[in-house]
Amino acid sequence: MTRIKICGLSRPEDIRAVNEARPDFAGFVIDFPKSFRSVSHQEVRELGRGLRPDIVPVGVFVDAPVDTVAELFASGTIRVAQLHGQEDEGYLAALRRAAPGLTVWKAYTVRSGTDIAAAQGSGADRVLLDNGQGTGETFDWSLVRQVRRAYILAGGLTPENLPAAVAALSPWGVDISSGVETDRVKDPDKIRAAVQAVRGQP
């Protein structure tokens, strides 16, 4: 079954909404001021403490120091690191040494088959295929058919198009953020609808 991650949580109200909807993963954009969804280390610790234990907390990072990611994992604040910057295989190797047991996802912006090939060769545990950083738009999903490993689909997903995406592509997971927002704020009704759409519930 396709898993679902609700990303960009930044308020206690967001935690209450995901606890009710029960997605598989909850994502926090950590120390990335360019994003209005960014939270500090202290904020993510406080938010994470309110998360249901069966929802996996994911830290979303952009070229963060390895020690920063490792410390958040060691403290139990995150269980998955999702990397959205220029992190290369050397960075991944250093992160694995610093944080044994950490699950690592690497995001790739998809524009062509070359991007798919790069994702195919990644040493990350999972790759995330996206249109870019929070654009809210989809990319050419026909390119995904070339992927021969488990991947997470992101970019432009909404409760309305999730059923078609899951049916057509059968991704390992889907990642949604702006698609469950109203006026740039997480919408509990849209979060609930997104989870239900992925799980085939009415």
Separation of alpha carbons 165 and 34, rounded Å: 29
Q: Which of 7, 14, 24, 175 is catalytic?
A: 7
What tokens appear for 41 in the block?
A: 């280390």
Q: Do residues 30 and 38 lie in contact, with contact meaning Cβ atoms separated by under 8 Å? A: yes
Told to judge if 130 belongs to the known catalytic residues of this protein, a careful annotator would answer: yes
- How would you write 18-45 as a 3-class SS string? HHHHCCCEEEEEECCCCCCCCECHHHHH
Q: Residue 7 catalytic?
A: yes
Distance of CA 125 to the CA centre of its chain: 13
Q: Out of 14, 31, 130, 175, pick the active-site residue.
A: 130
Rounded Cα gap, residues 37 and 25, in angstroms: 16
Catalytic residue numbers read: 7, 130
